[in-house]
Amino acid sequence: MRFQDVLHSAGPQARHIEALWWPMLGVCTAVFIAVLAAVIWALLRAPRGGPATPPDLSSLGKPERGARIAVLAALAVSTVLLVALTLASFFTDRALARLGPPALTVEVIGHRWWWEIRYEGFATANELHIPVGKPVLVKLKGDDVIHSFWVPNLSGKKDLIPGRDATLTLRADQAGTYRGQCAEFCGAQHAKMAFLVIADPPEQYDAWAAAERKPARESADRRGGDVFMERGCATCHAIRGGGAAGDSAPDLTHVASRQTLAAGSVPNTLGHLAGWILDPQGIKPGANMPTTPMRPDELHALVAYLGALK
Ligand SMILES: [Cu+2]
């Protein structure tokens, strides 16, 4: 997985932002140093007095031609730099809007504290798969509070504001797995609201989408599926083809194909899956999944069932 980093862009959107970031940093650093140098210079040459020698204030009465020119020059330079940065920012914005018609549209819905990701015909969670080299339109919706969608290596941030849908376009030019993170404080588990963007070559992306579109695979042993229904998991979760149609929690139709559980909180292994089901509040306090008391044999059957939902 790529380290989450604004300065390692892997697509045009992040590249434009990176290209704006360096001159901004350069100009701001130069101005900061110039201002500090002026302050130090002023301090060093200011007239000093002691109890015995009163300060020489005679200069205060004289016109200050030199200082006047210096202030006017600084004002002119600041104006030019600010206008230049504003123009650079304007043209970056224009460049960001020029990605072209999307090859794929995906809907991303921010929930406390996970990402629902809806494709045509199926849904997944906390994992956005995209084909490399193609523009993708991401439609952003907020469900409860304001969240912010941010994959630093691929694009800038965009807020998900309830009632005000937003869109963002991005394109990955290098195949890879990029980490994203909610970038707007949204409550107790904001830090554990991560997601992955997985950019694959188009054929591999198509194969993934075709597999996700299929209903859940038939379980060898129906027992785990029965426990899922009996223990109330289906009131919140959906398993297409498995009889569960809840719609307030991650779709579990192909949960075993994902890399992490609970928005990047733990790796998706059978052990962590069992740990999550037994004690979600221990892993992610405040998460909207209750702890369900269960006998060991029920847990085993459930984990075997869910762990096979590739
Ligand atoms: Cu958040």
Verify that 192 and 249 share a domain, yes or no: no
Verify that 111 and 199 share a domain, yes or no: yes
* Residue 7 Cα to ligand 1 middle (Å): 22
Q: Model confidence at 64, in pLDDT bands (50, 70, 90)? A: confident
* Residue 139 Cα to ligand 1 middle (Å): 17
pLDDT value for 251: 97
* Residue 115 Cα to ligand 1 middle (Å): 10
Look at residue 42 and tell me if it is in a domain: no
> Whole-angstrom Cα distance, residue 189 to residue 117?
19
Average pLDDT over every residue of 49-77:
83
Look at residue 295 and tell me if it is in a domain: yes
* Residue 150 Cα to ligand 1 middle (Å): 10
Q: What is the pLDDT of residues 208-260, one digit of tens each?
A: 999 999 999 887 678 999 999 999 999 999 999 888 899 999 999 999 999 99
Look at residue 92 and tell me if it is in a domain: no
pLDDT value for 115: 98
Decide which of 186, 212, 238 is a domain's last residue: 212
* Residue 152 Cα to ligand 1 middle (Å): 15
Look at residue 51 and tell me if it is in a domain: no
Look at residue 177 and tell me if it is in a domain: yes
Verify that 108 and 197 share a domain, yes or no: yes
Number of domains in the chain: 2
Verify that 227 and 292 share a domain, yes or no: yes
* Residue 148 Cα to ligand 1 middle (Å): 7
* Residue 184 Cα to ligand 1 middle (Å): 5
* Residue 114 Cα to ligand 1 middle (Å): 9
Look at residue 77 and tell me if it is in a domain: no
DSSP secondary structure string for all residues of 241-304? TTTEE--SS---TTGGGSSEETTTTEE--HHHHHHHHH-HHHHSTT-S-------HHHHHHHHH
Verify that 270 and 192 share a domain, yes or no: no
| Domain CATH for 227 | 2.60.40.420
Decide which of 212, 240, 273 is a domain's last residue: 212
**77 against 62, higher pLDDT:** 77
* Residue 110 Cα to ligand 1 middle (Å): 9
* Residue 245 Cα to ligand 1 middle (Å): 26
User: 300: domain range?
Assistant: 223-307
- Quote the pTM value: 0.90
Look at residue 274 and tell me if it is in a domain: yes
Look at residue 271 and tell me if it is in a domain: yes
* pLDDT(263) > 90: yes
C-alpha dist (Å) from residue 258 to 31, 142, 208, 251: 48, 23, 11, 11
Verify that 167 and 237 share a domain, yes or no: no
pLDDT value for 3: 83
Verify that 278 and 303 share a domain, yes or no: yes
C-alpha dist (Å) from residue 39 to 42, 78, 146, 299: 5, 17, 42, 68
* Residue 103 Cα to ligand 1 middle (Å): 28
- Smallest CA-to-CA distance from 97 within 59, 62, 135 is with 135
